[in-house]
Structure 1
Amino acid sequence: MLKFLLTLSLGVFCVSPLQAGELTPATKSCLSGEKQGHCERWVKDYKTAMEQAQKGDHGAQVTVAFCLSTGCHGAVTIDRVASCSWHLVIANSGAATVLDSSNLRNTCRPMTPAEKDQARALSSDLVKKIYKRSMITTDQM
């Protein structure tokens, strides 16, 4: 039984970066009510930002990282690993600011070592995809 659990847990961490890069967190369905319009606007803005972020737009990357860490008022599923990976992409963009470095530390430092490894793998794949180069090693987290 122990071997099975160990094998199963290793399988979780051995997802290839390409597969991990293709798993984008889903937007949520907005509940009807007075805040439905606000939520639907955030869903639309997030989807637009994700498209632009994958093309290298710094502001869109910041929006995506923010939404993945906060949920953007309930419009996006919170995913700390994905948020951290986008912060690492921003750090590798060449356009990072002091605020971006602070956001990277605040988002990534509380994560477990395994989560940090997942974020590094995902961000490495994203940097290759977006900037057509290898990720510069940064260990601000």
Structure 2
Amino acid sequence: MCVSHCLHKENPMLKFLLALSMGVFCVSPLQAGDVTPVTKSCQPGAKQAQCERWVTDIKKAVALAYKGDNGAQRTIAFCLSTGCHGAVAIDKVASCSWHLVIANSGSTTVLDSSNTRNTCRPMTPAEKDEARALASDLVQKIYKRPMVKTDQM
């Protein structure tokens, strides 16, 4: 299904409306250059409490990540990659974008480098280009400077 991959190519309003029509909602207003996780409705069952906790955590993380908080950026990248117990729609391109933001933060660890490689390297060249473009917008928005290129992809 093209939905999660194709959403990156559409305008922000279309992305928002499509997300709503799928029964999910965005955790913050969509703007150009935003790579915001799309949370899901938690399903009843054994993982419902974990899912609901992650929905709450990701909402807090989004606000902090756009203020330059590395821990929050790591949370977003992780959730976009794993889904955080069904709380977030998996989006490898957006996850890679956030890993590139972390790589540009000036506060990276060996684990951050490994996570960037593991998330970004398996993607297609087109996905990598898309992730770089999204990350470039995020770095400009968050750190008010151009993104430094990384060889980790």
TM-score, scaled to structure 2: 0.78
Matched with 1:66 is 78
**Which one-letter code corresponds to 2:135 in the other structure?**
S
Q: Deviations over 1:46-78 (max 9, x none)?
A: 111111111100111111100000000110000
Identify which of 81, 89, 96 aligns with 2:108.
96
Matched with 1:117 is 129
Could you tell me whether the CA contact under 8 Å between 2:42 and 2:52 is conserved in 1? yes
Matched with 1:9 is none
Off by >6 Å, runs of 4+ in structure 1: none
Identity of aligned residues (%): 72
Could you tell me whether the CA contact under 8 Å between 2:47 and 2:85 is conserved in 1? no
Identify the structure with bigger relative contact order (alpha carbons < 8 Å, sequence gap 6+).
Answer: 1
Once the two structures are TM-superposed, the CA of residue 103 in structure 1 deviates from its matched residue by 0.4
TM-score, scaled to structure 1: 0.84
Stretch deviating more after TM superposition (28-37 or 71-80)? 28-37
Alignment coverage as a number of residue pairs: 128
CA RMSD, 1 decimal: 1.9
Once the two structures are TM-superposed, the CA of residue 100 in structure 1 deviates from its matched residue by 0.3
Compare CA radii of gyration and give the structure with the larger one. 1
Q: 1:135 to 1:23 in 2, by over 3 A?
A: closer
Which runs of 5 or more structure 2 residues have no equivalent in the other structure?
1-7, 13-30
Matched with 1:56 is 68
Once the two structures are TM-superposed, the CA of residue 114 in structure 1 deviates from its matched residue by 0.3
Matched with 2:138 is 126
Q: Which has the higher helix share?
A: 1
Once the two structures are TM-superposed, the CA of residue 33 in structure 1 deviates from its matched residue by 2.7
CA distance in structure 2 between the aligned counterparts of 1:64 and 1:23, rounded to whole angstroms = 10
Once the two structures are TM-superposed, the CA of residue 38 in structure 1 deviates from its matched residue by 1.7
Q: Deviations over 1:92-140 (max 9, x none)?
A: 0000111100100000000000000000000000000000000011121
CA distance in structure 2 between the aligned counterparts of 1:90 and 1:114, rounded to whole angstroms = 21
Tell me, what secondary structure is at the counterpart of 2:52? helix
Which runs of 5 or more structure 1 residues have no equivalent in the other structure?
1-11
Tell me, what secondary structure is at the counterpart of 1:22? coil
